[in-house]
Structure 1
């Protein structure tokens, strides 16, 4: 609930900041990006935050239910919530060489995968969307928390799995084999960078607040780039099982110039992803604005 209280002092009216629910994941790229914003190290005039850290599929479902005012989501989900949310141009994960991987215990071609269970890290993740776009015939889909996918592949519970986040750096240690780099497939088939996750905010907040949020997020990313050591404790507090090297690799892979501002190239990539999802009948066709005008 947004709350704003005004108090009259003489001829001046002082208004307390509106308190916005803010969702993002505990992954190093998100805690790196949001550290300065949630710790008041960059200005966000008239706005305060109550943060909620959850895995991305939990955030997707919270936004689908309208339960968060500002949140990180998978770009797949964006196509389902545009009636109520706008996409902010800063704070997200979009790039090249950073897409989800389809892995298994042994080399398998697509024909041998058909009909066999494939684990995905949530129904509304971009990883799930990419696999469905890559090969719609792979339809025996099992949804698991992302951290349980590699163990399920390794013990044979599923034939293959689509992995995200830090799993890109650790799957070989479990003896798993990469079958398809879905990000590479996307880049080669479209020419665009891969949109993974973005930041949405409720349209009802209004243009002034939305533009404030967008600018503050961009400043938070710039602050993190300029002061990479300041966020270290916050990042490690939410990623205790990762080594510093894996945290750093995670941030380097998923945080880049597109995280400051999507720009024309990033915006085009998002639109193409939504268009392809709509053509495949996975989301409804997009109408109206995606961004703050």
Structure 2
């Protein structure tokens, strides 16, 4: 793909260069094509939603909205293949509250897959967590600018604008992924229930190397997806489709330890920094003002 000078990959589920009637309808009515809880996009603000599903980083799309992962519910199929035996009857429930032993909320599970028998009785369940990527910078400004005139601004150059939006993988793991695994994951693991984590390929690539185990021995399935551009015949614009590109199976505690343990730098570098600060302090004596005797 050629160098892209603006950050918006998908707006309301369509490429910003898509000027078809379908794309215009989704833009004008602020619709979400990815199985949101309501027909409309509700990201950020319900009345004025930030309809950006993914942004470009180094000319590749990165998913920034968790609802984007719900396309065709393939994540549920992939998670069910990890949780249950083939042929199991199951259904999915979204945004299920999880409480600790004191009745306090540990957060909502994004999707709970429930296996049931012929009479509808729950037999088993597994938890599917969806990890989109946080953004650093300002993505609403280019979004609002584009929405002001989508047809003429589809090829806009935003590269010189301040606060150009980029994926913040470090915050995504520290502020979102790690707390999910510690609190919700800790409860689920204590219950002996499996967890699936759906995330973007570029996000997974920033995590530490995880020790893999066979699927049958795993507590966590890391379901890794990318957006694949599928073109149409003639000059019709294409669409991005969610595609699983890999899956990694790990045990719970080793994976959590790998992600939460920082990679230490050289202690010599830190000592050098301390020496520089100490030298600066010693070479610059404190300014003491002498008060002359008043009496």
What interval of TM-score do these two structures reach, taking the shorter chain for normalisation? under 0.3
Question: Of the two, which has the highest radius of gyration?
Answer: 2
TM-score when normalising by structure 1? 0.26
TM-score when normalising by structure 2? 0.26
The structure, 1 or 2, with the larger RCO (C-alpha pairs under 8 Å, 6+ apart) is 1
